[in-house]
């Protein structure tokens, strides 16, 4: 994380602000959606936020101490992730694996896109993003409980 000389206290405040703001946007995006629609809205909310507010998005990734994290909007992010996964009827431990997979894919894509990692081919990043979401949906459906 680019810290620009910020104290841990200021980094924590920035993280808390960004987590809250992003949680509000994600909640608005996924309201009423299920299955692939909810997954796509959820993913697009993260990607759109990362593109519109790269510094804030990076701040949301700042590691908080356990007590602060437990009282932060990070909890809402985890709850919303599990809520969209309910549409896939995943049992544990698959649900936990899916939460981690989605976080890894969304944050990885946002990080690569932020540094121009998708600018080196003639294929638009949006096409890869749509393809990725289709693959995630297929993977999640394939793991649904019988």
- In a domain? residue 78: yes
- In a domain? residue 1: no
Instruction: Copy the structure tokens of residue 68.
Output: 């602060």
- In a domain? residue 125: yes
From CA 34, how far away is CA 96, in angstroms rounded? 19
pLDDT for residue 145: 73
Tell me if 57 sits within 8 A of 107, measured CB to CB: no
The count of domains in the chain is: 1
Tell me if 102 sits within 8 A of 136, measured CB to CB: yes
Residue 66, pLDDT > 80, answer yes
Summarised one tens digit per residue, pLDDT across range 67-106 is 999 999 999 999 999 999 999 999 999 999 999 999 999 9
């Amino acid at each position: 994380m680019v810290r620009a000389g910020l104290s841990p206290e200021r980094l924590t405040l920035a993280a808390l602000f960004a987590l809250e703001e992003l949680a509000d946007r994600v909640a608005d995006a996924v309201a009423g959606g299920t299955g692939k629609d909810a997954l796509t809205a959820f993913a697009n909310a993260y990607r759109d936020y990362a593109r519109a507010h790269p510094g804030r998005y990076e701040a949301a990734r700042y590691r908080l101490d356990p007590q602060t994290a437990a009282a932060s909007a990070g909890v809402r992010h985890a709850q919303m992730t599990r809520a969209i996964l309910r549409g896939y009827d995943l049992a544990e431990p698959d649900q936990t694996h899916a939460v981690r997979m989605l976080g890894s894919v969304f944050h990885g894509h946002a990080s690569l896109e932020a540094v121009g990692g998708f600018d080196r081919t003639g294929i638009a990043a949006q096409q890869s993003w749509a393809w990725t979401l289709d693959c995630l949906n297929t993977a999640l459906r394939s793991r649904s409980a019988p």
